């Protein structure tokens, strides 16, 4: 499996985790939601770097 496929799987997992947290917390400013969002953002940036090579 190449790096882009791995990052895509990671992104999908992080998106699901973020959505679950949002549903549980009902607060987009909850600390856990913000951390999960930043983690997803980092993965998306990584994907962007790989696809723009």
CB distance 9 to 47 below 8 Å: no
Note the pLDDT tens digit of each residue in 9-27: 999 999 999 999 999 999 9
Using DSSP, state whether 30 is helix, strand or coil. coil
Contacts of 25 (CB under 8 A, 6+ apart): 32, 33
CB distance 41 to 49 below 8 Å: no
Residue 1 has pLDDT above 70, yes or no: no
- Whether the model clears a pTM of 0.85, i.e. scores above it, the answer is yes
Q: Where are the domains of the chain?
A: 3-51
Structure tokens at 18: 């973020």
> Phi and psi of 37, rounded to 5°?
-65, -40
């Amino acid at each position: 499996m190449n790096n882009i496929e791995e990052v895509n799987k990671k992104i999908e997992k992080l998106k699901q985790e973020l959505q679950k947290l949002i549903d549980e917390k009902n607060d987009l400013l909850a600390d856990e939601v913000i951390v999960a969002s930043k983690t997803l953002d980092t993965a998306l940036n990584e994907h962007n770097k790989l696809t723009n090579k």
